Structure 1
Amino acid sequence: MSKVLPPGQIETNKWPILHEGDVYKFEEEAWTFKLFGDIKKEVTLSYEEVMNLPKTISTVDMHCVTTWSKFDTTFEGIAFREFLKFVELSDDIKYVRIYGYLNGNRFGYSANLPLKELMGNDSLFVYRWKDSSHDWANIRPKHGFPLRFIPPASFYLWKGTKWASGIEFMKEDHPGYWEERGYSMTANPFKEQRFAENGSKPSGYFGMDEWK
C-alpha cells in the first residue's frame, strides 16, 4: 500500500537525530518516572517497575517538522495506556504533557497532547527499534534512551519526548517546550500545522544533529 506523504515533507529511509540541549546520561538507580497533575495521588515508578509493564510492538510512520518523513519503523515499548493503571482520572482530564530531561532538568522538556488520541498501539514509550535496514537494537542515547515517547503519525515528531521522565495529566490544554516558543499546539502534519496560528516562524528553529 502506498504511503501518504504529508505536505511539505520529504521521505527518507534514515532516522535523523535532532535534539535540544545535552544528551541525557542514563543512570538506572537514579532514574524515575512520575505521574502527576490533576489527579488525586502522584505516583513515582522506578526503572524496573516501568520495564516490567506489558510490552507492545508497533510499526509506525514518523513525520518531523524539519520536513523529513520515515515510514514503517518498528518499535517495541510500553503503550501509553499502560500507565493509566496507576492513576485515577476524572472525566474532565482531556490533555497530558509528556516530560523529558533537558540539560540535567528531568522536567526541562515537555510536549502537550490530547489524551483521547493516545490509547492505541501507536502511542509508545519505546526502548528498541528496527526497520528494513536494521535488526532489533536499543535506541541510541541521542534518540532518547532509555525511554522515548513516539506519538501517532497524526502529530509531528517533536511531540515525541526524548529521555521521557513523566506524564502530567491536565484538565486544560497547556503548551509544552516548543509550543511556548511558537510551534503549533495541535501539530498535525497532514494539515501542515507547524507553527502557531499567527503564522510567524519562531526563533530557535529545530537543528539537525546527524542522520542515522
Structure 2
Amino acid sequence: MALISKGFVGRRRGDDRRTPPGQYLTKDFPVLAIGPAPVVATDTWSFSVTTERGDTRSWTWDEFAALPHETPTVDIHCVTKWSKIDT
C-alpha cells in the first residue's frame, strides 16, 4: 500500500503563487497587541547610532523624518499564517 496516493498534491496553496502553503491572503494588516500603542513625545524623541569606532550621530524627530527614504514593495508572511502581498 502506498503512503501517498497519486492524487496527493500537498497542502492547498493560497490565492497567489507567492503565498506559501498553509498561508491565507489578507488585504488589511492584522495587528496583534496586548494593549494600546504608546504615545511618543516627538519633541523630546531622539535616535542615535554609535559606530564600532565610538563615533555617535543623533537625530531629532524632525531631522530623522527629513532624511531621504525609500518605500519598498515586499511580501510579508506571518507566523500566524497570514500573508500580505505587494505591501
- Give TM class, smaller chain: 0.5 to 0.7
Query: Where in structure 1 are there 5+ consecutive unaligned residues?
Result: 74-212
Aligned length: 72
Match of 2:58 in 1: 44
Q: Is it true that 1:63 corresponds to 2:77 in the alignment? A: yes
Q: Helix, strand or coil: the match of 1:16?
A: coil
- State the alpha-carbon separation in 1 of the partners of residues 17 and 48 from structure 2: 36
- State the alpha-carbon separation in 1 of the partners of residues 56 and 26 from structure 2: 41
- State the alpha-carbon separation in 2 of the partners of residues 22 and 68 from structure 1: 22
- State the alpha-carbon separation in 1 of the partners of residues 82 and 35 from structure 2: 21
- How far is 1:44 from its partner? 2.0
CA-based RMSD of the aligned residues comes to 2.2
Match of 1:8 in 2: 22
Q: Helix, strand or coil: the match of 2:22?
A: coil
- State the alpha-carbon separation in 1 of the partners of residues 22 and 39 from structure 2: 34
Sort the Cα spacing of 1:66 and 1:47 in 2 relative to 1 into closer, same or farther, 3 A.
Answer: same
Sort the Cα spacing of 1:50 and 1:3 in 2 relative to 1 into closer, same or farther, 3 A.
Answer: farther
Larger Rg: 2
- Name whichever structure is richer in helix by fraction: 1
